[in-house]
Every structure is written in structure tokens, then in C-alpha cells.
Structure 1
Amino acid sequence: MGEAQAKIGPSARRPDNSAFKQQRLPAWSPMLTASTVLPFFYLMALICMLLGVWLLLTVQSTQEIKLDYTEAGTCDRCFEKRKDVANAALNCSCIVVLSIGKAFKGDVFFYYGLRNFHQNLRRYMNSRDDAQMVGRNKSLKKPSTYCKPFDKDQDGRPIAPCGAVANSIFNDTFILTYHGSVGRPVRAPLLQTGITWYTDKNVKFRNPKTGNLTLAQVFEGTAKPLYWQKPVYSLDLSEPSNNGFLNDDLIIWMREAAFPNFKKLYGVLNRANEPFTQGLPAGDYSIDISYNFPVQHFQGRKEVVLTTLTWFGGQNHFLPIAYLVTSSLILLTAVVLTVVWLKFGKNMEE
């Protein structure tokens, strides 16, 4: 018993006398001196400043026009009338005009924007059935309880797609028309398919397997969301492949925004024909708006955005300004350290 206790002592828990366990391996301990630190600070300030200026010039090269149409013309008055039962089928539409002074060259992107619409609320974001959106037939007939109260209609039929996110989809439509100096007005064609992320179209969203059935037959027995005008299998009558859970507008809306003010892609200018081969020519334009999405009850605003993009994206000045501010702070720190070193660096007693 005494021998066993002698073996279990402080020496038994001592690490091996090796270079690794005793931390005697070769190491480099840099000596931070003014001649090494100050040049590094000035170099980092210069790099951040060059990056900030470069990104700022890149952002400034984009062109963008925003147009708030919340109270445009008779749109809002028409929508107020449509709330009555007698006017429930009233088609609300209006036309807004805008002028482009300088041609938008290259690809032009058409966005719709919403303000004061909070897609980042936890209960709102959870009100969806991802299993249903990837085409699982079981979830199609029996939606997730997370979708309540938007899981079944008044007759007890399951809703597809279910949940508050899908139910609140933005459903205003737009027609952009170019009014040139000569000739008749020309409708600017917008591509509304192929505008989603690859992972969304091929991984996160899928239609149920149809087999020998049509998409309408697969969704038979389900109901459309409460505020939808069309069932999910007939959202786009002009493009059969753009229906069901693979509809581009639905996919883009289901990707929730992080902030209450956001914009989402509606379409991209089709530059196949004149006069849009180079982009949007300068001149007068009109936008015919089908006004369906209400914003009055949450004090929101609606807008359309026409913009060009660069490799950096649209007109977002946050990152260039962040680089410039960081450069200024680093430069200020470097100057202060330089003054301190020149005044006290050579006299260690001070």
C-alpha cells in the first residue's frame, strides 16, 4: 500500500521532459519597435484608403432611379374602394411616368421595394413548411403546424404553399414602356425567369413528382393561400416551367429580408431587340402598375427601382465608406504614435 502511494505523487503527474511538453521548441518573438510598427500602420492606412476610393468610384459608376408609387395617381383611392364587397373584383391600376436623362448601358435590373415591412420577425419567418417547398407529397397534404393559422382554408383543405410568408407574397405587377422622340411607344421586355439563385432553384425548392399527372392534378385537393389571386400551379400562364414551387417570384419572396426596408428583383431587361440592345435609352418612360399589395395598414411604402450593376453590386456606399473611415482612424493612430515616439522615444527615462 505504501509503495502504491509513493508512485502516485507530484512526480507522477509531471509532464515528460521533452522539448514539446516543456515548451522549449524554437519560436519567433517579434520585437515591436517604432521602426517596424509605424511603417505597418502607414501601409495599412494607405491600402484601406486605396480600396475605399476604388470601391467608391466603382459604386458611383452605377446608375439608379427610385420611384415611390405608394400614392401615385388613383392607385390608393382605387384600392380603398376595392375593400368593399361590391367592388371586390375591381381592377386597380395606374400609370406613373419617369424620365431617364442618361442612358442605362448594359444589363438593367428592375426591382420592387418595400419599406416598414418586417420579414425578420421570428414567428413570421417560422410560418412556412420547408418540407412542403421541396415537393414532399406528405407535407403537401398535411402541412406543418408552424404554418398555423395559414395551414388550412375554411373548408379544411390544406393550403399550398402554407404559412404567413407565402400568404403575404408581393403581387403588384409592372409593365415598363419606352416613349421615344419618334415612333410609337415600345414595351420594354423584362425577363422574369432565371433570376433566382442556383441553390434555390435546384436545392431548396422543388415541385412534387408528377409522374404521368399534370401539375394541376398533383395539387388537386389543396387550396391557394388566402390572399392569392391564382393557385400555385398557374402563377405563370406564359411559361409552364415557371409554376408551382419553382416560380421565380415565389422563390425570391420566400428568401426573407433582414431589414424592414428592402428591395427584391422583379425582372431583368431583355436586350434581344431594338431599341434595348445597349440597355435603356434616354427618354421618357411609363410604368403601368397593377395595384394589388396593400401597405396602408402597416404604414408602409412601395417603390420601383431601375438600376445597373457592377461586379461589386448596386449603389451600396457602406463598404467604401467603411474602408475610408478605417483608413482615417489608422492614419490618425499612426500620427499620434509618431509624435509620441519623436518626443519620448529616445529618452527612456521620460
Structure 2
Amino acid sequence: MAMSYNSKDEVDGGPPCAPGGAAKNRRPDNTAFKQQRLPAWQPILTAGTVLPTFFIIGLIFIPIGIGIFVTSNNIREIEIDYTGIDPSSPCNKCLSRNVTPCICTINFTLEQSFEGNVFMYYGLSNFYQNHRRYVKSRDDSQLNGDPTALLNPSKECEPYRRNEDKPIAPCGAIANSMFNDTLELFLVVNGSFSTAIPLKKKGIAWWTDKNVKFRNPPGEGPLQERFKDTTKPVNWVKPVYLLDSDQDNNGFINEDFIVWMRTAALPTFRKLYRIIERKSDLHPTLPAGDYFLNIKYIFLFTLQITLYILLMDENG
């Protein structure tokens, strides 16, 4: 059966209605909001209004800038490069990778005491954590403890998704390249004896990462059982459930791992490694004197690696 076309059947450029159907009006309601008739106010920008505004804002930011400048000048920093590129460096032997892990020792002197909390950072140069494929090479569902994603990781993790026909936990290039050198700090006492400086390894990650983004697989048994039927990343020396003897800092909620998984925006970056807390107001956190740093060289990438020891105020 043929149907005739009549322009009156269309409303506001719409398609013709079906036989027996009602015409649809596409025109917006005649209200002040939908017709953009709401009252509005727009300032008239003149030299008499703009210049005083900029002047007042500038006066406000002057004391803020002075405070930031003074705070930054109060930060004291020691920089220790233990890459080992220099043939005279004690860590030069570790570049050959003939011995794994390789242990080297670097001596240094602290001229002034560090009185407050001290923060230890490791720094890497020319490591592009901001590469697009690298940034995407992870499975956030797996890291959040999802049992399904644990055994069937995202394809974004390729080629670090499976190994030896088992799913990798944690999967992806970011986890596979995790910084895993071990650093120990010692104070030399009376020229011959040494005492270890206690390094706090908890409290270095963001609270939201530790308590929201990263979770271990659910279950009541040992952590090893919850990671059953998975395998460690290719470049790791031990599985994720053996990262720490403290179960509150083990598995996916290990804070060294969490800090590494927060990728850096630039190829030269620092990440918080340890905190040295001040124990008493009567004694400095790090007294002036001779120290040595024991380095267990495990990190497989030949890059410039630097340890930074910083003294900051409470504002960081």
C-alpha cells in the first residue's frame, strides 16, 4: 500500500510521522533556562579594575612565596651515586652482572647533624615510566585483589601476562621492572664499630593507594595459598607473597611495590624508599660523623641510580 508524502506531516525538519502517529515537536521548551534567557553578569574589564586586582593578588602571593623559599632553603640533602660507572667506584664490579646479587659498600661523611625526620629516596635517570605502552601495562583489577583477574590478567599486560603457562601476579611491564635494590645505612662508631640505622619501610605510600587501590586476594588462609596457581614476574627474584615477613606489608599491599607502581611523569625521577624517624628531642636523628651504605645490587637495568638523603621540615 503506497503512502503519500505531505510536508505538513513534518514538524521542525523532523522525519514524517508513521500513519496514525502524532506529530513530535523537537522545539525546546519556552523557558528561560532552555532558551538561554537567564539573567547574567559580565564584568567590564578596564585598566582601573584589572590593575588593582593583579596588585592585590600579587601582594597575597608575596608572603606565600617567601615562606616556600625559606622552607626549600632549609632542606638539606646528601646525594650518593652508586651506579658504578666510574671504575674507581666500589659498585663498578656490579655492572658486569657476573654475581647476582652483588653487594657493594660506599662510605660518606655527614658534616652536620640531621635533627628531624629524614627521608631516603632512590632516583633513576633515563627511565621512561611515562611511555604509553608501559603506563598501560598493568591490571588494576588484579592489583585490587579480584580473584578472576588474578588468574586471567588483562591483555594489556602482554608480554608479561603469563609465564610457564601460569598467570603472572602482578602482571605487566611496570611490575616486572620494579626497583628491588636493598639499601642499608650504618653509622661508624669509634672508628671501628658500626651500628645500623633503623629504616622505616611503612608509611612511604599514599594512604589511598595502600587502603583502596591495592588489596590482596580475599581469603583466610596463608597469603601463599591465595596466590596459588600464579607465578612471579620474570625479573623478580621471589614471588609477591614473599616481599616482606610483615603480613601487613606483603603481597600487593607491599609499600615498596605500591610506590613503584605509581608511575613518574618524567624520565628522571625520585621515589621515597625509607623514613628515618627522630626518636628523641635530645639526640639528632643522624649525628654528624662517618657512615657507610651497604647496597645489595639486584636491579637489572643499567641506569644512573642515586640515593638521596633529605632532611625536611614538617611541611615536606
TM-score by length of 2: 0.81
Aligned twin of 2:259: 252
> Residue in 2 aligned with 1:236?
244
Q: Distance in 2 between matches of 1:116 and 1:259?
A: 9
Question: Cα deviation per residue 1:293-335 (whole Å; 9 max; x = unaligned)?
Answer: 1333xxx31000101223543xxxxxxxxxxxxxxxxxxxxxx
Q: Does structure 1 conserve the Cα–Cα contact (< 8 Å) formed by 2:116 and 2:313?
A: no
Q: Which has a greater percent of helix?
A: 1
Aligned AA (2:264): A
Percent identical across equivalent pairs? 40
Residue identity opposite 1:243 in structure 2: N
- Whether contact under 8 Å (1:207, 1:244) holds in the other structure is yes
Name the structure 1 match of 2:188: 179
2 CA distance for matches of 1:160 and 1:37? 57
1:94 and 2:104 matched: yes
The equivalent of 2:18 in structure 1 is none
| Alignment partners' CA distance in 2, 1:128 and 1:43 | 47
Letter in 1 for 2:272: L
Question: Is the alpha carbon distance of 1:37 and 1:94 closer, same or farther for their aligned partners in structure 2, counting shifts above 3 Å?
Answer: same
Does residue 308 of the first structure (1) align with residue 289 of the second (2)? no
User: What stretches of structure 2 of length at least 5 have no aligned partner?
Assistant: 1-7, 13-27
User: 1:52 and 2:65 equivalent?
Assistant: yes
* Count, aligned residues: 285
Indicate if the aligned counterparts of 1:97 and 1:285 stay in contact, CA closer than 8 A.
Answer: yes
- Answer yes or no: is the 8 Å Cα contact 1:181–1:283 preserved in 2: no
1:220 aligned partner:
228
Out of 189, 192, 216, which is 1:207 matched to? Answer: 216
Q: Are 2:199 and 1:190 equivalent residues in the alignment?
A: yes
Q: Distance between the aligned counterparts of 1:268 and 1:248, measured in 2?
A: 12
Contact 1:125 1:165 in 2 (8 A): yes
**Given residue 240 of structure 1, which amino acid in structure 2 is its aligned partner?**
Q
Give the whole-Å Cα distance in 2 for the aligned partners of 1:225 and 1:120. Answer: 20
Corresponding residue for residue 139 of structure 1: 149
* CA gap 1:33/1:262 in 2 versus in 1, 3 angstroms: closer
Question: Normalised by the size of structure 1, how large is the TM-score?
Answer: 0.73
What is the one-letter code of the residue matched to 1:111? Y
Conserved? CA contact 1:295–1:301, under 8 Å? no
User: Which whole-Å CA distance do the structure 1 matches of 2:42 and 2:243 have between them?
Assistant: 65
2:309 aligned counterpart, secondary structure: strand
Shift of 1:161: 0.5
Deviation of 1:142 after TM superposition, in Å, equals: 1.1
* In 2, Cα distance between equivalents of 1:188 and 1:223: 34
Aligned alpha-carbon RMSD (Å): 2.9
